[in-house]
Amino acid sequence: MKAHEIDYTIYGEEMQYIEIELDPQEVVIAEAGSFMMMDSGIQMETIFGDGSGNDTGILGKLLSAGKRVVTGESLFMTAFENRNNTKSRISFASPYPGKIIPIDLNLYQGKFICQKDAFLCAAKGVSVGIEFNRKLGTGLFGGEGFIMEKLEGDGLAFVHAGGTLARKELQAGEILKVDTGCIVGFSSGIQYDVEFVGGIKNTIFGGEGLFFATLRGPGIVYVQSLPFSRLANRIIASAPRAGGKGREEGGLLGGLGNLLDGDNRF
């Protein structure tokens, strides 16, 4: 199925959203929870499967939906169709601070690999599946980067990167070493594996994990400075614990901060 041709505009800097212009009968698919706003006349429909429209029959739909469950996504996706006789607009928002990246699959030989939580929305006809790395080391220690999402087709897809975005173009044989959570996605020509950091001190005291991803060119790699897992861990570490105090509120600096804020309860 040839993907629908859609026009778009990305707004904002830190907390971006994307506005997509749909011609009559054009459709865009999206993950649940990304919808922001839309014109009247656009109809929303929950669909079972990968959203491509290629998974015909009950068995095909079950297979594509099962793949989505493996990546941690919902069994269902949402399709938005413009049933007006004129152009209509619909918008999708970033889940947290970062950048929205348009991916024209025609420029990536019809396939792009991304983190399982990076996909935001796409033109109908783009298939959202899974990509396993077949190497044992990657399977055992890949962490966030082991099970990736696979975007296939000939249309536009949009992924989200947390924090600041870096785009790296690797030449043949060139290697980039990245924290697995910091990978946003890469073109199909990139070879992906996991490498042990090495060294007793690094292993015990490094604080950066035991493994990192190695990406070998040729191809394009997108890297994010703020993966959601890192943001969530910082929020959890700073959240108030039993007794109503956060991690640092009970210390000397926390007490000084309370005094400066006018909190004199001891």
Residue 82 lies inside a defined structural domain of this protein: yes
- Distance CA(150)–CA(24), nearest Å, equals 28
Q: What is the pTM of this model?
A: 0.77
Structural domains in the chain (count): 1
Residue 76 lies inside a defined structural domain of this protein: yes
Q: What is the pLDDT of residues 200-256, one digit of tens each?
A: 554 554 445 567 889 999 999 999 998 877 777 778 877 776 555 555 544 444 544
Residue 264 lies inside a defined structural domain of this protein: no
Q: What is the pLDDT of residues 155-194, one digit of tens each?
A: 999 999 999 999 999 999 999 999 888 999 999 999 988 7
Residue 105 lies inside a defined structural domain of this protein: yes
- Quote the mean pLDDT of the chain: 79
Element (H or E) spanning 193, and its range?
A: strand 191-196
Of residues 21 and 131, more confidently modeled: 21
* Local structure of residue 218 (DSSP, 8 states): S
- Distance CA(109)–CA(10), nearest Å, equals 24
- Distance CA(234)–CA(20), nearest Å, equals 33
Question: What's the domain range around 126?
Answer: 7-239
Count of C-beta atoms within a 10 Å radius of residue 95:
16
Residue 86 lies inside a defined structural domain of this protein: yes
Residue 54 lies inside a defined structural domain of this protein: yes
Left, alpha or beta for 49 (phi > 0: left; psi -120 to 50: alpha)?
left
Q: What is the pLDDT of residues 28-59, one digit of tens each?
A: 999 878 899 999 999 999 887 655 555 555 55
Of residues 239 and 10, more confidently modeled: 10
The CATH number given to whatever domain includes residue 78 is: 3.60.160.10
**In the predicted structure, residue 80 carries a pLDDT above the cut 70:** yes
What is the side-by-side order of every strand in the sheet holding 211-216? 175-178, 211-216, 191-196
Residue 145 lies inside a defined structural domain of this protein: yes
DSSP, residue by residue, 19-73: EEEE-TT-EEEE-TT-EEEE-TTEEEEEEESSSSS---HHHHHHHHHHHHHHTT-
Residue 203 lies inside a defined structural domain of this protein: yes
Q: How many CA atoms lie within 13 Å of 220's alpha carbon, on the beta-carbon side?
A: 17
> Does residue 150 sit in helix, strand or coil?
strand
